[in-house]
């Protein structure tokens, strides 16, 4: 009797799939069935078992498929919610791509010869310089606005100018800095720029625009950099408040000699929060940094010593931050260390994350650390350099909370990796919102049926990612690894022979396709289908 009950449940899952009811609300999973209908009515594929509703199944490994050969630094899901995403490389080109559906063997629909926009004549690309961040306005589909964060060279690019981050306000003398820290490169020859662009006028329907104008609408932000390293550059719109968050490193001087990260008047080593929807008049431009206004609830409203743009401080080089798609106020950042430790921080309003007094949880032995009393926030995750890459080097790359049901054993965990491509971690937070994480170093491999064949590291089974530049997330909440050797997507664990008890590989009815048919979701906001399924199951439960 119970087997018939579960068969109907799975049949209904397949019905939803066949008629296109996909995405957004987890439905056809073992844990959902168990949580809804109690511990005595659970399924695991072919047969019914009793009291198997433990939802804590740690992942046995991360399965990837390669869907693109390009090397990209940024991936941003199209704001219209479609199966498209923007990819950008460090040199300054941006492409609009179609994302292939899982399990059908497709690759990225991206034409390298036809970029969405080409900024290579404006971007200074070298080493840690280039197009570092990309953000599309939440209302892009209606207003066509988007923003690029990049570096420019005052010697080569007209209009590359602004205020130097090394100035008297922060007790920094550019002449002394030139002689002591930056060698032959003049301080503030290179700038961090955030510029606004538009897709308006390129298509009758902005959301369908395939090209944008390469000329700036306005210069939002401009900051002269002391030297050529550790300047971050990612930009994100906050999903809850619509403000633009800007991640800036400490400027790259070893040990943060000028204490930029702790200096409340410096923007270096900070996360900024800007309002780009309410532009000030020329007279109201904030301290010559750019063309934006400051949200009135920024931390300066409680600490008048802070520069008004600052949201958080005490960071060395924040490299890839994200908001949890299920908790839009939950903001998490990876911060690259210097000598010993790589860290992940939960970012809060006015938070101080310790650099250069601390590197991660460890006191940083530097004579330059300011001897001041402060309330510091320590990392929730991290690893020592000695833990990876044969003690040679390490640099963290932040990722995302995994919110897809493609690999249900990863659901809700935070994925992050190391630049050098040999380590990816999964961290589980328990209880939720506690900041208490347990992390696991994940084995990872490439699916044997990957659309693009994966090369392996010599004398190893690891896919040859070479470098992990960033992570990405699409509108279906699938997670991507942006690597030096291509674009990789997280797929069903069984495709790599990893075991996840929650993955539905076999189902009762032979008419239901294996593995993927009951991992889909539906999007109707009023929940009519959930109500229909719930009613059906309760009626059958009464009859059976």
Chain segment 481-494, per-residue pLDDT in tens: 999 999 999 999 99
Which range, of 62-66, 184-188, 190-194, 334-338, averages the lowest pLDDT? 184-188
Inside any domain, residue 227: yes
Give the confidence band of 509 by pLDDT, cuts at 50, 70, 90.
Answer: very low
Tell me: pLDDT of 516 over 70.
no
Quick one: pLDDT at residue 281? 64
Give the confidence band of 144 by pLDDT, cuts at 50, 70, 90.
Answer: very high
Quick one: pLDDT at residue 18? 45
Give dist(CA 248, CA 245) in Å, integer.
10
Give the confidence band of 452 by pLDDT, cuts at 50, 70, 90.
Answer: very high
Inside any domain, residue 171: yes
Counting beta carbons within 10 angstroms of the beta carbon of residue 110, is it exposed (0 to 12), middle (13 to 18) or buried (19 or more)? buried
Q: Cβ(433)–Cβ(354) under 8 Å?
A: no
For residue range 209-218, what is the model confidence (pLDDT) as tens digits?
A: 999 989 999 9
**Paired residues of 318 in beta bridges:** 335
Mean pLDDT of 143-157: 96
**CATH number of the CATH domain containing 261:** 2.120.10.30
Quick one: pLDDT at residue 371? 58
Inside any domain, residue 85: yes
Quick one: pLDDT at residue 372? 59
Mean pLDDT of 428-439: 96
Give dist(CA 377, CA 521) in Å, integer.
38
Inside any domain, residue 507: no
Tell me: pLDDT of 45 over 50.
no
For residue range 312-325, what is the model confidence (pLDDT) as tens digits?
A: 999 999 999 999 99
Q: Cβ(132)–Cβ(123) under 8 Å?
A: no
Number of domains in the chain: 1
Inside any domain, residue 529: no
Q: Cβ(387)–Cβ(367) under 8 Å?
A: no
Give dist(CA 146, CA 110) in Å, integer.
20
Q: What percentage of the chain reaches a pLDDT higher than 70?
A: 77
Give dist(CA 87, CA 69) in Å, integer.
12
Q: What backbone phi and psi angles, to 5 degrees, belong to 191?
A: -125, 150
Mean pLDDT of 73-90: 97
Of 48 and 411, the structure prediction assigns the larger pLDDT to 411
Tell me: pLDDT of 462 over 50.
yes
Give the confidence band of 229 by pLDDT, cuts at 50, 70, 90.
Answer: confident
Quick one: pLDDT at residue 165? 94
CB atoms within 10 A of CB 535: 10
Domain of 216, in residue numbers? 72-400
Inside any domain, residue 67: no
Mean pLDDT of 63-76: 98
For residue range 245-303, what is the model confidence (pLDDT) as tens digits?
A: 999 999 988 899 889 999 999 999 999 999 999 987 654 455 568 899 999 999 999 99
Quick one: pLDDT at residue 352? 97
Give the confidence band of 38 by pLDDT, cuts at 50, 70, 90.
Answer: very low
Tell me: pLDDT of 37 over 80.
no
Tell me: pLDDT of 186 over 80.
yes
Mean pLDDT of 490-513: 74
Quick one: pLDDT at residue 13? 53
Quick one: pLDDT at residue 286? 52
Quick one: pLDDT at residue 393? 79
Mean pLDDT of 216-235: 93
E-assigned strands of 376-463? Answer: 381-384, 396-401, 414-418, 424-429, 437-442, 444-446
Inside any domain, residue 19: no
Inside any domain, residue 49: no
Give the confidence band of 521 by pLDDT, cuts at 50, 70, 90.
Answer: very low
14-20 long-range contacts, Cβ below 8 Å, gap at least 24? 14/509, 14/511, 14/512, 14/513, 14/517, 14/518, 16/520, 16/522, 16/529, 17/517, 17/518, 17/520
Tell me: pLDDT of 356 over 70.
yes
Q: Which residue has the tokens 């602004």?
A: 162
Tell me: pLDDT of 536 over 70.
no
Tell me: pLDDT of 92 over 70.
yes
Tell me: pLDDT of 185 over 80.
no
Tell me: pLDDT of 84 over 70.
yes
């Amino acid at each position: 009797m119970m087997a018939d009950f579960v068969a109907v449940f799975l049949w209904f899952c397949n019905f939803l799939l066949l008629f296109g009811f996909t995405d957004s609300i987890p439905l056809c999973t073992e844990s959902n069935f168990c949580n809804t209908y109690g511990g005595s009515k659970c399924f695991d594929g072919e047969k019914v078992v009793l009291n198997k509703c433990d939802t804590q199944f740690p992942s046995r490994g991360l399965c990837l498929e390669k869907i693109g050969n390009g090397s990209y630094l940024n991936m941003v899901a199209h704001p219209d919610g479609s199966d498209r995403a923007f990819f950008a490389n460090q040199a300054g080109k941006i492409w609009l791509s179609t994302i292939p559906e899982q399990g059908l063997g497709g690759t990225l629909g991206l034409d390298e010869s036809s970029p969405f926009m080409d900024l290579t004549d404006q971007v200074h690309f070298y080493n840690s310089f280039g197009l570092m961040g990309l953000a599309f306005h939440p209302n892009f589909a209606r207003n066509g606005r988007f923003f690029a964060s990049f570096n420019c060279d005052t010697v080569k690019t007209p209009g590359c100018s602004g205020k130097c981050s090394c100035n008297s306000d922060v007790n920094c003398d550019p002449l002394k800095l030139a002689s002591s820290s930056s060698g032959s490169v003049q301080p503030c020859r290179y700038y961090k720029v955030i510029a606004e662009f538009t897709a308006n006028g390129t298509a009758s329907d902005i959301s369908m625009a395939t090209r944008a104008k390469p000329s700036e609408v306005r210069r939002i932000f401009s900051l002269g950099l002391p030297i050529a390293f550790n300047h971050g550059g990612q930009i994100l719109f906050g999903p809850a408040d619509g403000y633009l968050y800007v991640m800036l490193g400490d400027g790259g001087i070893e040990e943060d000699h000028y204490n930029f990260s702790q200096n409340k008047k410096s923007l270096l080593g900070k996360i900024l929060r800007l309002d780009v929807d309410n532009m000030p008049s020329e007279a109201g431009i904030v301290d010559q940094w750019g063309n934006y206004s400051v949200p009135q609830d920024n931390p300066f409203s409680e600490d008048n010593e802070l520069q008004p743009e600052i949201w958080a401080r005490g960071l060395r080089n924040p490299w890839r931050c994200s908001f949890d798609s299920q908790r839009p106020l939950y903001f998490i950042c990876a911060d690259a260390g210097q000598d010993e430790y790589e860290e992940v921080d939960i970012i809060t309003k006015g938070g101080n994350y310790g650099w250069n007094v601390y590197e991660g949880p460890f006191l940083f032995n530097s004579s330059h650390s300011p001897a001041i009393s402060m309330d510091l926030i320590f990392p929730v995750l991290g690893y020592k350099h000695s833990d990876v890459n044969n003690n040679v080097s390490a640099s963290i790359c932040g990722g995302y909370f995994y919110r897809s049901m493609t690999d249900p054993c990863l659901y809700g965990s935070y994925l992050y990796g190391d630049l050098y491509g040999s380590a990816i971690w999964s961290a589980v937070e328990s209880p939720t919102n506690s900041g208490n994480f347990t992390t696991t170093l994940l084995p990872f491999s490439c699916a044997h049926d990957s659309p693009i064949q994966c090369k392996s590291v010599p004398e190893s089974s690891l896919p040859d990612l070479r470098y992990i530049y960033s992570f990405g997330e699409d509108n279906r909440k699938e997670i991507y690894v942006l690597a030096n050797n291509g674009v990789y997507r997280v797929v069903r664990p069984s495709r790599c022979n990893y075991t996840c008890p929650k993955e539905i590989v076999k189902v009762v009815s032979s008419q239901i396709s294996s593995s993927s048919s009951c991992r889909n979701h539906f999007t109707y906001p009023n929940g009519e289908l959930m109500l229909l399924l719930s009613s059906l199951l309760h009626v059958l439960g009464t009859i059976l």
